[in-house]
């Protein structure tokens, strides 16, 4: 039976494109770590048991007194047995099992509809209508307002200066003389 089970697992892995063969480096790196998981023998100091000392059998099989390991072992064994029955012996067809569990398949395939929840609630409502709408208001009022404000000041200054542009050369000379006098006075008094 173990040889048939191993063969069935290899066929399932081959069908799904997995490689169950471990490279030799796995044994080199993981076997020493696996030795640390063995329980400490009775009448010795507990190496990794935090002061507890147990016999090998109690330490190794003691976890099986809890129900959760049994549930996981039964689920894993059922999955392996189902794969053996479907892919190796062909007693059941995968399509038949799929049609029996179509609602569960749809639920798992759609990932509990979390993508739709994320898209419709988080993205469309919170981000687009909330955060990004706030950014749009800030951009229209603050950023564009500052840029348009600088532009309006420049336009108003240009309109004020336009009135001084009369085309009379005497007025231009007077303004240049006042400017040169202002520069000389600034240099004389301010250093």
Check whether residue 121 and residue 71 sit in a common domain: no
* Measured distance CA(56)–CA(50) in Å, rounded: 16
Q: Which domain holds residue 27?
A: 2-89
Taking the chain, what is the end-to-end CA distance rounded to the nearest angstrom?
Answer: 104
Check whether residue 128 and residue 174 sit in a common domain: yes
Check whether residue 25 and residue 81 sit in a common domain: yes
Residue 168 has what pLDDT? 86
Domain boundary residue, one of 89, 123, 144: 89
Residue 40 has what pLDDT? 47
Check whether residue 10 and residue 85 sit in a common domain: yes
73, part of any domain: yes
Check whether residue 41 and residue 75 sit in a common domain: yes
The pTM assigned to this predicted structure is 0.35
Q: What is the pLDDT along the chain (191 residues), one digit of tens a residue?
A: 455 545 554 554 454 555 555 566 666 666 666 666 665 454 445 555 555 656 677 777 777 788 888 899 999 999 999 899 988 998 888 888 888 889 988 988 888 899 999 999 888 888 889 899 999 999 999 999 999 999 999 999 989 888 878 888 888 899 899 999 999 999 999 97
Check whether residue 61 and residue 130 sit in a common domain: no
Check whether residue 120 and residue 81 sit in a common domain: no
83, part of any domain: yes
> Considering its fold, how many domains does the chain have in total?
2
Domain boundary residue, one of 38, 54, 89: 89
Residue 22 has what pLDDT? 58
**Which of 31, 28, 52, 27 has the alpha carbon at shortest distance from 40?**
52
């Amino acid at each position: 039976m173990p040889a048939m089970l191993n063969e069935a697992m290899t066929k399932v892995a081959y069908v799904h494109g997995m490689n169950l063969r471990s490279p030799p480096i796995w044994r080199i790196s993981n076997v020493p770590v696996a030795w640390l998981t063995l329980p400490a023998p009775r009448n010795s100091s507990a190496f990794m048991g935090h002061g507890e000392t147990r016999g090998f059998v109690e330490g190794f099989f003691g976890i099986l007194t809890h129900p959760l390991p049994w549930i996981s072992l039964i689920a894993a064994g059922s999955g392996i047995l189902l794969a053996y029955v479907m892919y190796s012996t062909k007693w059941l067809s995968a399509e038949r099992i799929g049609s029996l569990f179509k609602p569960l398949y749809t639920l798992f395939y759609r990932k509990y509809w979390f993508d739709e929840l994320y898209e419709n609630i988080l993205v469309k409502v919170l981000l687009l209508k909330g955060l990004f709408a706030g950014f749009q208001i800030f951009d229209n009022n603050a950023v564009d307002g500052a840029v348009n404000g600088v532009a309006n000041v420049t336009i108003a200054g240009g309109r004020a200066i336009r009135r001084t542009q009369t085309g009379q050369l005497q007025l231009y000379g007077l303004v240049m003389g006042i400017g040169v006098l202002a520069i000389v006075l600034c240099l004389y008094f301010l250093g």
